[in-house]
């Protein structure tokens, strides 16, 4: 039943197409063989629209191909623009990466300059002849004193240039140093390359801690360098102290000191 219905519909469409094609032919025949203008005029109202429809049907493939070509041209242009934009994006990404690398290098150089910019200029070499390091204290004695120009509050550095402590007592040929690990020591420090200030609090044999930050948004990070800050005292700016060991509890962080007190020769900074 469905097959017969489909065949019938197809036959009607074929007949309509043939009729549409014959109408213009019949119109031409009337125009040439029997030029009756009344008939021509009345038929033109029918033939012209039909001819237009037939023409549209005949030329549809051409118009479709033209439209397809236009779309392909537009798509090709869009693809070309996309490729150009992707290329530009890659260039900008590379530039951004380069800027980040340069910023990191600049920060490293700033930290280096921060460390060395205010080093004292005169020093006396000495040796540790006695050390008292316990749960709460960290003091040691040097083999040079007043006869070498050493005074109370002079700053003592390790052989590799890190802060060790401050002279608290002195004799003709000896000087006593309170180390920065002593529990009575609260050394003002700064995060190298920034304005973040705080204090290094000594804990005897345990690692000292960096605490009391002036910037509440600062987060301690492992490896960050700490340097001295004068804060109006005797301590010069920019002497390296050590690096943050880990983030701690967020309010204080343990610090790995760069100086060791063993039997190293010391550098004693004179005021």
Between 61 and 33, whose confidence is greater?
61
Cα–Cα dist 255/263, whole Å: 22
Query: Does residue 120 carry a pLDDT above 90?
Result: no
Give the pLDDT of residue 204: 83
Give the pLDDT of residue 230: 79
Domain boundaries, the chain: 1-116, 123-269
Instruction: Name the band, by pLDDT with cuts 50, 70 and 90, for residue 5.
Output: low
Between 194 and 97, whose confidence is greater?
194
* Percent of the chain predicted with pLDDT > 70: 58
Give the pLDDT of residue 98: 56
Query: Does residue 99 carry a pLDDT above 70?
Result: no
Summarised one tens digit per residue, pLDDT across range 159-180 is 787 888 899 999 999 999 998 9
Cβ neighbors of 125 (< 8 A, separation 6 or more) are: 265, 266, 267, 268
Most confident of 12-21, 88-97, 134-143, 259-268: 134-143
Q: Which among 154, 158, 157, 175 has a CA at the least distance from the CA of 166?
A: 154
Give the pLDDT of residue 109: 61
Query: Does residue 19 carry a pLDDT above 80?
Result: no
Evaluate whether 139 touches 182 at the Cβ level (below 8 Å).
yes
CATH superfamily membership of 123-269? Rod shape-determining protein MreC, domain 1 (2.40.10.340)
Tell me what the mean pLDDT of segment 229-240 comes to: 78
């Amino acid at each position: 039943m469905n097959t017969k219905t489909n065949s019938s519909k197809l036959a009607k469409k074929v007949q309509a197409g043939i009729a549409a094609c014959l109408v213009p032919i019949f119109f031409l025949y009337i125009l040439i063989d029997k030029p009756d203008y009344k008939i021509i005029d009345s038929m033109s109202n029918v033939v012209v629209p039909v001819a237009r429809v037939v023409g549209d049907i005949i030329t549809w493939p051409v118009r479709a191909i033209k439209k397809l070509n236009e779309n392909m041209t537009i798509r090709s242009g869009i693809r070309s623009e996309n490729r150009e934009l992707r290329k530009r994006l890659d260039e900008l990404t590379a530039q951004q990466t380069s800027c980040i690398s340069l910023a990191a290098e600049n920060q490293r150089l700033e930290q280096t300059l921060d460390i060395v910019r205010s080093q004292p200029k005169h020093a006396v070499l000495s040796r540790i002849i006695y050390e008292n390091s316990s749960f709460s204290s960290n003091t040691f004695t040097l083999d040079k004193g007043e006869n070498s120009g050493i005074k109370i509050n002079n700053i003592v550095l390790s052989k590799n240039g890190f802060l060790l402590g401050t002279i608290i007592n002195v004799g003709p040929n000896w000087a006593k140093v309170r180390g920065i690990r002593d529990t009575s020591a609260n050394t003002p420090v700064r995060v190298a390359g920034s304005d973040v200030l705080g204090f290094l609090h000594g804990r005897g044999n345990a690692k000292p801690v960096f605490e009391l930050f002036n910037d509440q948004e600062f987060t301690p990070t492992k490896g960050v360098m700490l340097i001295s800050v004068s804060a109006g005292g005797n301590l010069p700016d920019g002497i390296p102290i050590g690096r943050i060991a880990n983030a701690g509890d967020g309010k204080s962080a343990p610090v790995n000191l760069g100086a060791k007190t063993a039997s190293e020769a010391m550098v004693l900074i004179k005021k």
